[in-house]
A and B are shown apart, each in its own frame.
Chain A
Amino acid sequence: GQQVMQIPQYQHVQEGEDFTTYCNSSTTLSNIQWYKQRPGGHPVFLIQLVKSGEVKKQKRLTFQFGEAKKNSSLHITATQTTDVGTYFCAGLETSYDKVIFGPGTSLSVIP
């Protein structure tokens, strides 16, 4: 079956440094979604990418979808303590309703 992998598993950065998490799928995806979960919270939907090679920005966050629609990345510029949490990518299988979550990247920001 489809697998979604993410690296790194953990990342500790100094406040103001950049951060990137990478997501790879074993199969071609219909779309990829990104979620953020703060400690003790629930996943919050950030964005969805659909097109091959798509790039979207949300303030300091930049999301990319690979040309082959099998990989994606999330880049945060100049991290802040409010960026702390676990970032999950989730790939949508062509069977429509089944979104497969990656294991997540846990980000810590040292003030």
Chain B
Amino acid sequence: DTEVTQTPKHLVMGMTNKKSLKCEQHMGHRAMYWYKQKAKKPPELMFVYSYEKLSINESVPSRFSPECPNSSLLNLHLHALQPEDSALYLCASSQDAAGRFFGPGTRLTVL
């Protein structure tokens, strides 16, 4: 299985809502990532988990809260988001320093 899955595909939420994005991989990769991508821009790294421990937080606002329940799962909890947080949120995994396998993403709209 060489796939990274993400749910939901689309999400519309108000600024007072709490929601979660989910990501799963079964490639045995030990590194998992959250990226944010705005239109016509490259993916922007948010968080890195290595062996289920948070190893990099790219100064992301606390309204984004990552969680890694086990080596296959990665969540991103969202609370009190702003309209400028609307973007494509991509999960990825990799084996060590190798290429990232990206999921299809969650297209988030914050009203």
Residue of B nearest to A96 (CB): B97
Asked if B23 lies at the interface with its beta carbon under 8 angstroms from chain A, I say no
Q: Is the CB of B42 within 8 A of A99?
A: no
Q: Which of B40, B41, B56, B104 contacts A98 (CB 8 A)?
A: B56
In the complex, which residues of chain A have a beta carbon less than 8 angstroms from the beta carbon of B88? 42
Interface-located stretch among B10-18, B43-51, B75-83? B43-51
Q: Knowing A30-B97, A97-B55 are in contact, say whether A42-B45 is a contact too (CB < 8 A).
A: no
Q: Is the CB of B100 within 8 A of A103?
A: no
Residue of B nearest to A50 (CB): B97
Q: How many pairs, one residue from A and one from B, have CB atoms within 8 Å of each other in the complex?
A: 52
Asked if B98 lies at the interface with its beta carbon under 8 angstroms from chain A, I say yes
Mask of A81-109 contacts with B, CB within 8 angstroms, 1/0 = 00000001010100011110111101000
Which of chain B's residues 62-106 have a Cβ closer than 8 Å to chain A? 88, 90, 97-105
Asked if B31 lies at the interface with its beta carbon under 8 angstroms from chain A, I say yes
CB distance from A5 to the nearest CB of B (A): 11
In the complex, which residues of chain A have a beta carbon less than 8 angstroms from the beta carbon of B56? 97-98
Q: Is the CB of B100 within 8 A of A48?
A: no
Q: Is the CB of A88 within 8 A of B45?
A: no
Chain A interface (Cβ within 8 Å of chain B)?
Answer: 30-31, 33, 35, 41-48, 88, 90, 92, 96-99, 101-104, 106
Chain B interface (Cβ within 8 Å of chain A)?
Answer: 31, 40-45, 48, 50, 55-56, 88, 90, 97-105
